[in-house]
Amino acid sequence: MPLAPVFVALAVGVVVDRRFEPWGATAWAGGLLGFAAASLLAFRRPRLSSLALAAALAAAGGAYHHLRWTDAAADDLAAAVGETPRPAWVRGYVEEVVGRSTREGRGPGDDPRTRTRFTLRITEICDGATFLPRSGRADVSVQGDRSDLVAGQPVQVAGRLARAAGPLNPGEFDRRAHLQAQGIRLTMGVDEPSGVMPDPERGRSWRVGWLGAIRAWSRDRLIDGLDPRAAPLASALVLGRRDEIDPEIDDAFARTGTTHLLAVSGLQLQMVAWAIGLGLVVVGVPRRLRYTLVAAAAVGYAGLVGGSPSVTRSMVMTVAFCAALAASRQWRPADAMALAGTLTILVNPAFLFDVGCQLSFLAVAALFWLLPAAVAFGAEVHARVVGPPDPLDELESWNRSILHRTSDWLAYHAAQLATASAVVWAVAAPLSALQFHLFSPVGVLLNVPLIPLTSIALLAGAIKLLLAAVGATPLAWLAGLVVGRTLHLSEIVVRWGAALPWGSWYTPGPPAVSVLAFYALLALAVYLTNAGPHRDEPSPGLRRGRRLAWLLAFAWCVPGWMLAGLGRRPATLEADVLAVGHGLAVVVQTPEGKTFLYDCGRMDDPGVGRRIVAPALWSRGVSRLDAVFLSHADQDHFNGLPDVLDRFAVGEVVVAPGFVGRDNPAATFLMQDLHRRGVPVRTLAAPTAWNEGSTRFEAVHPPAGWAADAPDNARSLVLDVSHAGRRLLLTGDLEQLGLAELLSKPEPERPIDVLLAPHHGGKAANPPRLYAWARPRIVAVSQKPPVAGSADALTPLEAGDIVLLRTWRAGAILLTWSPEGIVARGFLEHERDGEGRPG
C-alpha cells in the first residue's frame, strides 16, 4: 500500500476522534481488529481489501489519538479538579524550567514584573492533614523570580490548582489544547516566589528531569558572555526557549512574518543537519556511517529543543532522507511527505492540528512542487525579455575578476532565495491570515538577508555549545561573539521591516471554508502540473485543464479570502460582553456594519487588547472601529487600547468629562499616545443622544461640569444602547455619587432589557435599589472567578426572575436583538452545542 493513503487514513481517524469523539479507545481498537480481519478475508478482491485496510488504519489513528488526547491515569488530578482555581498544596518534581519572562508594569513608570514558568510532575496532594498519592502534570506560573529551580528537583508547591481552561471568547487562543498536546492537563498559579519550596524528604530525580537538566545546561552555556539583548534571541533561535524575548521584538518578528526564523523550526534543524553532514564529509567519514550520524544528530537536536510539531516533521524527514541515501534508494518527494506525516502522527497525533506543523508541511510541499515551476517560469520570462542565454557570455564571465564573479554568485543565490521565499509565502499566506490575522509581504524581502544571518547565528551557537562542552572557553567566546553580532544585525533588519507602512497589516482573515477551497484548488493545479497523466506531453485538453485549475486557484484569493472580512455583518444589533476577568470590554455591532467598543482593559494585563479583544473583533470580520468609548480613567478599562490601536483603524475615542486628571498619569500617557497616532478624542457629556442607523445611543451620565472632584468610578460614562425598542445599559464602574445621580432620574418607562452590572458586580455598586429602578430581565457581569468562600452581592438576583450571566462562568456573553427581546447566550454554551459565533 503506498504511503500517501496510509497517512490520509490515519489522519482521517485522528480528525474524526478529535472533532466528534464518537467512542472510546476500546471501541476504536475493536474497529481496528474488525476491519483488519475483513481486509484479510477479502484478499482475493483487492479493492474491497484495500478499502477495509484503509478503514482499519483510520481506526488505528482514532484509537491512538483517543489514548494520547483523552484518556488519563485513574489517579490523575485533572479528573478531580475543575476549571475554577482552588487552593492546593502539592508535592512533585520540577520537570523543566520553561523560562523567566518580564512584563511591563501595571502603569507608566511602574517597575516591570517577573514571572517564572516551570513544568511540575505531581506525585502527591495534601488533603489538609496528610499527602495522598496522585498524578498529573501542571504548568506552574510563579509571580517572581525562581530561576534557581532546576530540573529533577523535588518541591512542594502551594498555589491555586485548576484543570487547564479553554478559551472564553471568540477567536481566543486555545491554551488548553496547546498544553494538552504536550500531555499537560493542569495549571497552577503561585502568587509569591516562596510558594515553591524545596522538599527535604526526597532526593533529586534524574529520571524525571534529565532532559530538562540538559536543556538548562545548554542554555546557560549558550548565553554565557553574550550581550544581554542578544541572549534571549539566541536562546530562542538555538534552543527554542522564547519566554524571555522582549515583547516588542517578538511582535516585530510576528508582524514581518519572520517568526519562523526566531523559533526553532524545520529550517533550523535542516541547517544543523546539513552542517554536520558537511563536516563529516570533510573529515572523511564513510557514507553509511555519515548518514547514520546525521540522523542521530537530528533526533538528538529535536529532543533538545523540545520536539515542536515543525521540528518533529523536519526530524522525521531528515531521518527518512538519510535512510534512503544510506540504502541507495531513490528519494521521492511524495513518499517523503507521506512518511513524514505518518511518523509525525505516531510521535504525537495532536501535531496534526498545530498550525506550525501545517505551515511546515505547506512550505516543504511548495519547495518540492511549486518552486521548480516558479524558477522555470522566471527563466522563461527572462529569456523573452532579455533573450536566451548566450554560451559566449557564460565563457566571458570566467575572465572577470573574482570580485565580479563573487557578486554575480551572491546575486544569483539571493534571487533564488527570494524566489523560494515568495513561493512559500504565497502558499502559506491564506493559512497565516486565517490563524494569525496577519498579511506580511515584507517577509519575502526580509527573508533574503535574515535566513543567512540567522543560519550563521544558529551554527555559531551550536559550535559554542560544543566548544563549551569540551572546555575550549576562548574559542567558545569567539563563537558567542558571532552569535551576538549576527543576531544584532537580524534585529535591526526586522525592526526596519516592521516600521514599513506597507510591509504588513492586520486582517480579519478568510473563513476556514474559503481557505480549504483555496488549498483544494491549489492541490488540483499542482497535481495536473506535476503528477497528472501525460505530464511531459500534455494533450490540449490537459493544457486547458491546467490553465483553468491555476486560474481558479489564484482567482479564488480575491473573493475567497482577501475580501472575506468585509461582508460579515449581523442581521440585527449584536453585542459581546467579553470575558476579560477583572476588566471590561464590550463590542457593539450594528446591522449597518458599524462597530463600537465600550472599554478595553483588564487589571494588571495590558495584553488583553491583543489576546482577547482583537481576536473577538476579527471573528466578526471587523477591521475598523467607528468609535471607542472609555467609561473612566481606571487602567482595567483602557490599558488594552494601545494594542487595539496597533491592529485596527479607529475613527475616534470618546471619553467622559474629566477623564484626564493630575492624579492619573496613565490616562495622560494614553491621551499623548492618541495624539501621536492622530486619533481624534471627543468628550461626551449627558444628556446627549444620537442615531447610528437603526441604533440609538444616549449618554445618561455624567452631565457636563458634574462633581469634578468625584472619584473616577463615580464619573463613569453610562451609555444606553437601544434598537427596536430593546435597551442595553452600559455602566462602567459606576458607584457612590454617580450611582446616586443615576438613581435620582425618573424610573425608565420600560424595564432595561439588559443591565451591565457596575464595577464587576461589587457590593457597593450593586444595591437592591439599582435593580428595583432598572427592573432588568438580564444582568451581565464582567468579573474574574471569585475567591473560594467569598460573598457575592449579585447572588440574590438568581433567586428572582432575573437571568444572571457571569463572564468567568459563561464566557463572552453574546447579546442578540430580536422581535421577542434581547437573547443572551454565553460563549461556552455555543461551544458545547457546537455552534459557531458571528462571522
Distances (CA, A) of 94 to 105, 272, 301: 28, 29, 22
- Beta pairing partners, 720: 698, 729
Residue pair 701/718 in contact (Cβ under 8 Å)? The answer is yes
Residues 6+ apart with CB under 8 A from 421: 443, 444, 447, 448, 451
Burial of 609 (0-12, 13-18, 19+ CB in 10 A): buried
In this structure, are strands 813-818 and 574-577 parallel, antiparallel, or unpaired? antiparallel
Please give the Cα distance from 781 to 724 (Å, whole number): 23
Among the listed residues 736, 666, 724, 718, the one whose alpha carbon sits nearest the alpha carbon of residue 694: 724
Among the listed residues 262, 254, 378, 380, the one whose alpha carbon sits nearest the alpha carbon of residue 310: 262
Please give the Cα distance from 780 to 171 (Å, whole number): 21
Residues 6+ apart with CB under 8 A from 164: 78, 83, 139, 175, 176, 179, 180, 184, 185, 186, 187
Q: How far apart are the first and last CA of the chain?
A: 42
Please give the Cα distance from 754 to 752 (Å, whole number): 6
Distances (CA, A) of 532 to 41, 303, 335, 543, 625: 34, 39, 16, 11, 48
Q: Sign of the CA dihedral 792, 793, 796, 798?
A: negative
Which portions of the chain are predicted below pLDDT 50? Answer: 834-839
Q: How many CB atoms lie within 10 A of CB 570?
A: 17
Q: Residue 38's pLDDT is what?
A: 92
Torsion of CA 262, 266, 269, 274, to 10 degrees: -120
Residues 6+ apart with CB under 8 A from 264: 236, 237, 238, 239, 240, 305, 306, 308, 311
Q: Residue 559's pLDDT is what?
A: 56
Q: How many CB atoms lie within 10 A of CB 717?
A: 29
Q: Which amino acid is at 47?
A: R
Residues 6+ apart with CB under 8 A from 413: none
The H or E element containing residue 424 is helix 402-436
What phi and psi, each to the nearest 5 degrees, are found at residue 438? -130, 140
Specify the CATH number for 568-833; select among 3.30.530.20, 3.20.20.10, 3.60.15.10, 3.40.50.300: 3.60.15.10
Residue pair 145/193 in contact (Cβ under 8 Å)? The answer is yes
Residues 6+ apart with CB under 8 A from 518: 430, 510, 553, 556, 557, 560, 561
Residue pair 239/219 in contact (Cβ under 8 Å)? The answer is yes
Residue 702: cis peptide before it, omega within 30 degrees of 0: yes
3-state secondary structure 473-501: HHHHHHHHHHHHHHHHHHHHHHHHHHHCC
Per the rule left: phi > 0, alpha: psi between -120 and 50, beta: everything else, 329 is beta
Residue pair 361/266 in contact (Cβ under 8 Å)? The answer is no
How is 46-102 classified by DSSP, letter by letter?
HHHHHHHHHHHHHHHHHHHHHHHHT---TTBGGGT--SS-EEEEEEEEEEEEEEEEE
Q: Residue 417's pLDDT is what?
A: 87
CATH 2.40.50.140 domain locations along the chain: 77-204
Please give the Cα distance from 447 to 455 (Å, whole number): 11
- Beta pairing partners, 655: 630, 683
CATH 3.60.15.10 domain locations along the chain: 568-833
Residue pair 115/139 in contact (Cβ under 8 Å)? The answer is no
- Collapsed DSSP state (helix, strand, coil) of residue 437: coil
Q: Which CATH superfamily is domain 77-204 in?
A: Nucleic acid-binding proteins (2.40.50.140)
Please give the Cα distance from 483 to 456 (Å, whole number): 8
The H or E element containing residue 727 is strand 726-730
Q: Would you give the DSSP letter of residue 328? A: T
Q: What radius of gyration do the chain's Cα atoms show? A: 30
Q: Residue 774's pLDDT is what?
A: 94
Please give the Cα distance from 564 to 582 (Å, whole number): 34
Please give the Cα distance from 457 to 235 (Å, whole number): 11
